[in-house]
Amino acid sequence: MSDGVPIRAALGGQRIETASWAYGNSGTRFKVFAQEGVPRDPYEKIADAATVHRFTGVAPSVALHIPWDKVDDYADLARHAENLGVRLGTINANVFQDDDYKLGSVTNPDPGVRRKAIAHLIECVDIMDATGSRDLKLWFSDGTNYPGQDDVRTRQGRLADALAETYARLGDQQRMLVEYKLFEPAFYMTDVPDWGTAYLHCVALGDRAQVVIDTGHHAPGTNIEFIVAMLLRAGKLGGFDFNSRFYADDDLMVGSADPFQLFRIMHEIVLADELDKGIAFMLDQCHNLEPKIQAVIRSVMNVQEATAKALLVDHDTLAKAQESGDVLEANAVLMDAYNTDVRPLLRELREDMGLDPDPIGAYKRSGYFEKVKAERVGGTQAGWGA
Ligand code: RM4
Ligand code: MN
């Protein structure tokens, strides 16, 4: 694609989901530095997400994490979101923070603990029914720290049973997204460590089970765009948890450590014509030091910039170069697109959409942060476990 009009149309139609937990306090195991103006409850987190959408125009949904975002009335929360111009998105299950889960959740040797974990996954589907969410995202911290600690294949069987029971509870329009992560918190063996394991479980479950790629969950040097291509080919790429990593699961702003990698990922998506076919583009980030709402706006813009560059790749010239074995020309086609400054194009797009061309400047000028800073005094600020 090289004509500006279809590129702008594709970018205008892009949807990026932000995460409720990105608006709360976060940190490391050493220290959480609290920030001013941080939401005290899911209603305030949604107000922040709506603010991101107001200035970017492409972030109309917000993912929830249960129980962090537990409320009495999810239909009321959905109405609150709608009134603010956004909707509730993916429901993230949390089976990693109870004492019971020390030896695992759905893979725990104790059947009682497994039952409790499955009950939580099913509760998440109940919540999806109330919120109108399409996707259930499952990440398991399950694993072992020492060789011999538990039996690998037995644990896989327990995992398969739990997934099957949860999958059977999904409605026709609902999907299960299975996430993988190489290591941490388990240090010897993780029960869903890689895309192959997630893929095998999804294949056994059925069409509505798909793999989600968290960009921070790989070994250094992993070719993530190859995984994207493989899952696209198999029809099993459900979505992304976008973030950036230098060392491990750093949860930094997407595109910050390696914007070229993000471009290469988006290039595979555009090449397969899958930008608007149901892949969930989600942010899974934590903003420990930087102002949170502004960081989420920046992240949305980073995804847009990588996507714009991917849309600029001249597919015809690329295919010709590839067919004729012109290695350098093929590579140059990609690099030309990557090296294009797409910021003017995105400014034009925002003007077309009736937005300020400079989302961060507009957000700063809006006075939103000063307002919530003054209002959100007292109570308990949201954070992991809140
Ligand atoms: C996990 C995983 C999940 C996310 C939690 C907060 O490492 O990435 O997707 O929900 O962190
Ligand atoms: Mn994730």
Render pLDDT for 285-297 as a digit per residue (tens, 0 to 9): 999 999 999 999 9
Contact 269, 278 (CB under 8 A): no
Distance (Å, whole) CA 344 – CA 64: 33
Q: List Cβ<8 Å contacts ≥24 apart for 376-380.
A: 376/36, 376/37, 376/38, 376/39, 376/40, 376/44, 379/40, 379/41, 380/40
SS3 64: strand
Find all residues with CB under 8 Å of 336, minimum gap 6, and list them: 312, 314
Q: Name the residue among 175, 179, 267 with its Cα closest to residue 215.
A: 179
Per-residue pLDDT at 1: 47
Q: How far is CA 319 from CA 201, 227, 234, 261, 295, in A?
A: 34, 21, 22, 21, 37
State pLDDT tens for residues 1-28.
446 789 999 999 999 999 999 999 999 9
Q: Read off the pLDDT of each residue in 102-108 and give the average, rounded to a whole number.
A: 99
Residue having the nearest C-alpha atom to atom 6 of ligand 1: 284
**Angstrom distance (rounded) from CA 350 to CA 297:** 13
Q: How far is Cα 221 from Cα 257, in angstroms, rounded to an integer? A: 13
CA of 207 to the centre of ligand 1 (A): 23
Q: Is the pLDDT of residue 350 over 90?
A: yes
**CA distances for 241 relative to 16, 85, 321, angstroms:** 10, 23, 33
Q: pLDDT tens-digit profile of 148-164? A: 999 999 999 999 999 99
| Candidate of 214, 244, 287, 288 to mutate for ligand 1, largest count of ligand atoms within 8 Å of Cβ | 214
Residue (of 121, 119, 164) closest to 140 by Cα position: 121
- Euclidean distance between CA atoms 129 and 100, whole angstroms: 27
User: Quick one: tokens of 133?
Assistant: 């969410």
Per-residue model confidence (pLDDT) at position 382: 95
**Cβ-contact 313, 325 below 8 angstroms:** no
Q: Which of 180, 198, 249 is nearest to 220 (CA)?
A: 249
Nearest-angstrom CA–CA distance, 173 and 44:
28
Which pLDDT score is estimated for 5? 82
Average pLDDT over residues 75-88: 98
Cis peptide before 185 (omega within 30 of 0): yes
Residue 11: predicted pLDDT: 97
- The region, left, alpha or beta by phi > 0 then psi within -120 to 50, assigned to residue 182 is alpha
Distance 330 CA to ligand 2 centre (A): 33
Share of the chain above pLDDT 70, in %: 99
Task: Indicate whether 202 pLDDT > 50.
Answer: yes
Mean pLDDT of the 142-153 span: 98
Among 179, 215, 242, 252, residue to substitute to test ligand 1 (most atoms within 8 Å of Cβ): 179
Query: Can you tell me the distance from the alpha carbon of 155 to that of 70, in angstroms, rounded to the nearest whole number?
Result: 29
Q: What is the CA(217)–ligand 2 centre distance, in A?
A: 8
Ligand 1, CB cutoff 6 Å, lining residues: 21, 65, 92, 139, 179, 181, 214, 241, 249, 284
SS3 content of the chain, % helix, strand, coil (to 5): 50, 15, 40
Task: Ligand 1, residue 286: give the atom nearest the CA.
Answer: 6
**Average pLDDT of 182-208?**
98
What is the average per-residue pLDDT within 218-235?
A: 98
pLDDT tier for residue 179 given thresholds of 50, 70 and 90? very high
Percent of the chain with pLDDT over 90: 98
Evaluated on CA atoms 365, 366, 371, 372, the torsion sign reads negative
| Cβ within 8 Å of residue 385, ≥6 positions away | 68, 97
Mean pLDDT of the chain: 97
Reply yes or no on whether the pLDDT at 46 is more than 80: yes
Q: How far does the centroid of ligand 1 lie from the alpha carbon of residue 141, in Å?
A: 9
**Amino acid identity at 138:** L
pLDDT range class, residue 385, cuts 50, 70, 90: low
Q: Are strands 135-138 and 175-179 parallel, antiparallel or unpaired?
A: parallel
Cα–Cα distance measured from residue 179 to residue 158, given in angstroms and rounded to the nearest whole number: 17
- Residue 132 pLDDT grade (very low, low, confident, very high; cuts 50, 70, 90): very high
